[in-house]
Amino acid sequence: MNDTLKVPFYAKFSLTLLGLIAIVFIFYIGQNILIPVMMSFLFAILLYPMVQFFKLKLRFPHVLAVMIAVLFFVLIFIGLFVFLSFQLSDFADDFDKIERNINIHLRNIQGFVRDNFHLSSREQKQYIDTATEDSMEKGKEIIGTTLMSFTDTLVNLTLIPIYTFLILLYRTHFLLFLSKLVKKENHEQLKNILTNIRVAINSYIVGLIIEMILISAMTTFGFMLIGVKYAILLGIVTGILNLIPYIGILFAGLLSIVASLTGSPDLSIIIGVIVITIVVQLIDNNIIVPVIVSSKVEINAFVSIIGIIIGGAIAGVSGMFLALPILAVLKVIFDRVESLEAWGYLMGDHLPKTYTWRKIKLPLFDSEAPPEKNTIKTDLPLPVFTETTTENSSNRTDV
């Protein structure tokens, strides 16, 4: 006898919508707790191959292997932070030059407006003062918000290594917990989902790291060619900010333009910075991202942009960074659960990428073309769920 309760579509859709609203609300009010945990989850996936190397190749105990991997991860960030701190201290000494060169350009702009729009410098100043009359109060609010955000960031930077260590340490424990949540006949499906999530997220994070290194190197080289001071600092900052989808490169470009004024007020330097930033982005978007960063789980641009906007509205920059990995995890789950397969198809990017016209491959955007099934090919063995302790997990094949 079938005891499954069948509900009409509108009722099922309403329940799904209420569930999504509840999840978003919980994420919003609990972002200070959830964001460090999610970040730690990503870093744990990234460090897992290193832990396996220490355990299987060097025969380290599980706890020691996890400790060394996390310590290596922390030392890399500390080294990068120290290097940027020294560079920024030198950069701060040139603020007077930046202010002087900015004033030169402002006077040139005022002269252009005066000659072409017949507005005197006094009238221009009045317009500016009217537009920014509340800037002092807003400035105080921004400073207070920034200090609070900085404090939260310091707390998160302390918690993330701890969470990463614990996630790697109790990994087998968490896997067994998941296996107890589902029926035994669904364990094979669970194994497949977990394996594909790990492969997709790991490839995405590694791709982002490679992209950051390449963007930093290209930007540094380009700025050195045109004689920009602090080219190495600006190149590294550009690579880091580029990790923030869509808007990160805009902030990096504005920062580079302002920093270029430390050397000379020459307008050609600013034009050179803009040109190099655009060229690097063209290379990034058309070569680096498709070849290196492209995830094994393809998500269409519409869903990606909506997800990034929602992530930014909920949790700011951290939410924007986490949006794509979360969408990738959801896509893997939706594709492998029959009742959710339609949502996985909605998130996917099934359009053919090119077509041939007179022996020339051109972009093709045709929704009538038959979709290709999106699968992840991996030779990694699937996990075996058995009652065991974390310390003995080195003798098993893991996800």
Q: What pLDDT is recorded for position 397?
A: 43
Q: What pLDDT is recorded for position 137?
A: 52
Q: Among candidates 324, 299, 340, which has minimal Cα distance to 246?
A: 324
Neighbouring residues of 219: CB distance < 8 A, sequence distance ≥ 6: 234, 235, 238, 239, 256, 276, 277, 280
Q: What pLDDT is recorded for position 66?
A: 94
Of the three residues 161, 181, 201, the one that is the final residue of a domain is 181
Asked if 82 and 188 sit in the same domain, the reply is no
Asked if 177 and 187 sit in the same domain, the reply is no
Asked if 235 and 92 sit in the same domain, the reply is no
Query: Would you state the structure tokens that stand for residue 138, as one six-digit string?
Result: 């807003």
Rounded CA separation 351/345 (Å): 11
Query: Would you state the structure tokens that stand for residue 204, as one six-digit string?
Result: 């995405």
Burial of 124 (0-12, 13-18, 19+ CB in 10 A): middle
Asked if 308 and 377 sit in the same domain, the reply is yes
Intervals of the chain under pLDDT 50: 1, 136, 139-140, 142-143, 145-147, 365-380, 382, 388-399
Over its C-alpha atoms, the chain yields an Rg (Å, rounded) of 26
Asked if 227 and 352 sit in the same domain, the reply is yes
Residue 166 lies in a domain: yes
Asked if 193 and 66 sit in the same domain, the reply is no
**CA angle (375 as vertex; 330, 366 as ends), nearest 5:** 90
Asked if 309 and 189 sit in the same domain, the reply is yes
Q: What pLDDT is recorded for position 347?
A: 87
Neighbouring residues of 306: CB distance < 8 A, sequence distance ≥ 6: none
Of the three residues 181, 202, 224, the one that is the final residue of a domain is 181
Asked if 342 and 210 sit in the same domain, the reply is yes
Asked if 266 and 368 sit in the same domain, the reply is yes
H-assigned helices in 132-229: 135-169, 171-181, 187-226
Asked if 141 and 200 sit in the same domain, the reply is no
Q: What pLDDT is recorded for position 380?
A: 47
Rounded CA separation 161/171 (Å): 15
| Residue corresponding to tokens 């190149």 | 235
Q: Among candidates 348, 385, 366, 368, which has minimal Cα distance to 174?
A: 385
Asked if 64 and 127 sit in the same domain, the reply is yes
Of the three residues 181, 212, 233, the one that is the final residue of a domain is 181
| Residue corresponding to tokens 């220490």 | 54
3-state secondary structure of 220: helix
Give the global pTM.
Answer: 0.73
Rounded CA separation 276/137 (Å): 37
Q: What pLDDT is recorded for position 165?
A: 95
- Residue 296 Cα to chain centre, angstroms: 16
| Residue corresponding to tokens 């053919």 | 352
In the beta sheet, which residues pair with residue 354? 363
Helix axes 231-241, 248-259, angle to 10 degrees: 170
Structural domain count, the chain: 2
Q: Among candidates 135, 163, 140, 181, which has minimal Cα distance to 35?
A: 163
Residues in the chain: 399
User: pLDDT, tens digit, for every residue of 316-347?
Assistant: 878 888 888 888 888 888 888 887 888 888 88
> What domain range is 152 assigned to?
9-102+116-181
